[in-house]
Structure 1
Amino acid sequence: MIPRVRQNTGLGILLMSATALVFALQDGVSRHLAGEYNVYMVVMIRFWFFAAFALALSARGAGGIGGQLRSRHPWLQLTRGVLLIVEVCIMILAFVKLGLIASHAVFVCYPLMVAALSGPVLGESVGWRRWLAIGVGFVGVLIILQPGVAVFSPWALVPLLSAFMFALYGLLTRYVAQGDTAGTSFLWTGLVAAVAITPVGLWFWQPMTAPDWGWMLLLCLTGAGAHYMMIKAYEVAEASDIQPFALLQLVFIAILGLTVFNEDLRLNVVLGAAIVMAAALFTLWRARVAARRALGPSA
């Protein structure tokens, strides 16, 4: 097992907050491009850049590309990459069908899924208080989905599936960090995702205008940067300390949706999202309390 990176909670918070902002900007660009071109092609080009950037970064690291590819958890790294590429495609489809705000109001429940899955995936104990918070959070999701036409559409469930996949991706990222460096996880993520999406993306290739190639470049830069910052955040800080700051993405998304895409901020979405976020924050706090109790008085 590799030596653990020295913990730096302040840096982790900064990285996670920056990740939330960049992810929000990236989602706005993704919605624009996916409204004009096939989703799979857009995601493919994005992850081509991701993989190229990861290879260039690894070539400069200790041991070069070969050294960075050596993983103690190759099958889990493979699973992470596939999970991510499928989750990204699903979420971008939700942006086009439901809008940024409604999609993220549902997606923000993923910390609750992290708590629910932390037992089977990481072997953590989840007490009754956290299970209650998880239940309350999903009541908030129902409030978001219930009113309006969206409740009758299967697209309303798409961001929920995306949240589940992203929660699993985050848990696996934390798990492999016990044996692999951030560089190794970053390289595996880029390569696996690019290889997995390329056959589908090429099949749906469409010519793109010059201005949209500029948006695509911005999407590529933000995609690679955001995922690397998230991996580094999990490496330098405990998940329970920094995860609440990932919820800032919903705030950034709301601003973007209202100002750029002229989306509506419905009352049920505000109320449901507030319930989900409160439940998520409580769940993360309880996870932190449980972790400190497990460490004993020295914590």
Structure 2
Amino acid sequence: MTEISPAKLPRTQSNNIPLGIALMVATTMVFAVQDGLSRYLAEQYNVLMVVMIRYWFFAAFVITIAARKAGGVRSAAHTAQPLVQIFRGLLLASEICVMVVAFTVLGLVETHAVFTGYPLLVAALSGPVLGEKVGWRRWSAIGVGFVGILIILRPGFAVFDPAAAIPLLAAFMFAIYGLLTRYVARQDSTATSFFWTGIVGSIAMTLVGIWFWEPMLASDWLFMGALCITGVTGHWLLIRCYEVAEASAVQPFAYLQLVFVSVIGISVFGETLRTNVAIGAALIVAAGLFTFWRERVKR
């Protein structure tokens, strides 16, 4: 699972849109590979252990980034909202675990098809949670997106598969995480939020995941190393992306991750793309793109 959300990463200075788009495309490719590796490892070993090791490298990454900023780690760790930051970190770690479980149960294609709706959940909840105004156009887009989700889930046809609700839960959790990120940004810097995300998640996953440690084959350690490297590389590319271009210009290209994940799921894991999933995903993406466009027009 990825964190392609502009709210929690630095974005300043230049606005080189072609370079930003190229970096976003590269980011989605790397995160798609990361999700494929996560699915493979989670099918072989306990999900909590896999996510724990991934978080160790993520924590090392955020500490390295913080150390290179002005004021160092002490400055990055300073927050006026420690309880909210801790909850954010715990929520994201939990969401990643739920998402990886969904990979093993439903596969990459259907999991991401449903999860793609999280920006619409953010838009829908931004009013009651943050007090932001949501106009009728965005509510219409949200409605279209949820129709797409229903098409994918197909409730009422035969027996509804409860497993289909797993990625929907992950999308809801990530939407709340994104809203809390906007909330803490009112007082804390993006560097601080990024730091707490990695550190809290690493501590929490270690406390839980260490009890589920399993011996790993030497060959699978190579895959684990690749998982950690893709995670760090993906976050670095994402940071660079938002440093060189406006988030509103490059964020729509984040939907390409659904395409890359589908290619990996079908070609590597033998998944299939059902017609209802393709139609539902197309509606969700179209609604999401419209929502991004409306936000850009308002700004």
Scaled by the length of structure 1, the TM-score of the pair is 0.87
Counterpart secondary structure, 1:152: coil
| Greater displacement, 276-285 / 238-247 | 238-247
Residue 24 (structure 1) aligns with:
32
**Do the aligned partners of 2:11 and 2:247 also contact (CA within 8 Å) in 1?**
no
Residues 136-167 of structure 1: CA deviation (Å, up to 9, x unaligned): 11111111111899962221001011111222
TM-score by length of 2: 0.87
Correspondence for 1:8: 15
Structure 1 unmatched runs, 5+: 292-299
Separation (CA, whole Å) in 2 of partners of 1:171 and 1:223? 23
Farther-moved stretch of structure 1 (142-151 vs 14-23): 142-151
The CA deviation string for residues 230-263 of structure 1, in whole angstroms up to 9 with x for no partner, is: 4565566554433312111101111111111111
1:212 corresponds to: 220
Q: Output the amino acid matched with 2:131.
A: G
- Aligned CA RMSD, in angstroms, stands at 2.5
Query: How far has the Cα of 1:92 moved from its partner?
Result: 0.4
Paired residue for 2:72?
Answer: 64
What are the residue-to-residue correspondences of 1:271-282 with 2, within 5 Å?
Answer: 271-282=279-290
Distance 1:134 1:146, change over 3 A: same
CA distance in 2, matches of 1:150, 1:194: 41
Contact 2:111 2:167 in 1 (8 A): yes
Q: In the superposition, relative to structure 1, how do residues 100 and 77 fare at CA in structure 2: closer, same or farther (>3 Å)?
A: same
Amino acid at match of 1:84: L
Equivalenced residues, count = 289
Shift of 1:135: 0.9
Alpha-carbon distance between aligned partners in 2 of 1:259 and 1:197, rounded to the nearest angstrom: 31
The separation in 2 between residues aligned to 1:160 and 1:62, in whole angstroms, is: 39
The residue aligned with 1:284 is 292
Q: Mark the CA change 1:19 to 1:174 in structure 2 (over 3 Å): closer, same or farther.
A: farther
The residue that corresponds to 1:247 in the other structure is 255
> Residue 187 of structure 1: CA displacement?
1.9
Structure 1 contact 19–230 (Cα < 8 Å) conserved: yes
Contact 1:68–1:187 under 8 Å retained in 2: yes
Taking the aligned partners of 2:229 and 2:191, their CA distance within structure 1 comes to 17
Matched-pair contact (CA < 8 Å) for 1:182–1:231: no
Contact 1:145 1:151 in 2 (8 A): no
With over 3 angstroms needed to count, the CA separation of the structure-2 counterparts of 1:154 and 1:30, relative to structure 1, is same
Percent sequence identity over matched residues? 61
Relative to structure 1, is the Cα distance of residues 6 and 181 closer, same or farther in structure 2, using a 3 angstrom cutoff? farther
**Deviation of 1:19 (Å):** 2.6
Partner of residue 142 from structure 2, selected from 117, 131, 134: 134
Give the conservation status (yes or no) of the 8 Å contact 2:11–2:242.
Answer: no
Query: Are the equivalent residues in 2 in contact too, given 1:9–1:242 (CA < 8 A)?
Result: no
Query: Which of 139, 155, 160 does residue 163 from structure 2 map onto?
Result: 155
Deviation at 1:48, TM superposition (A): 1.0
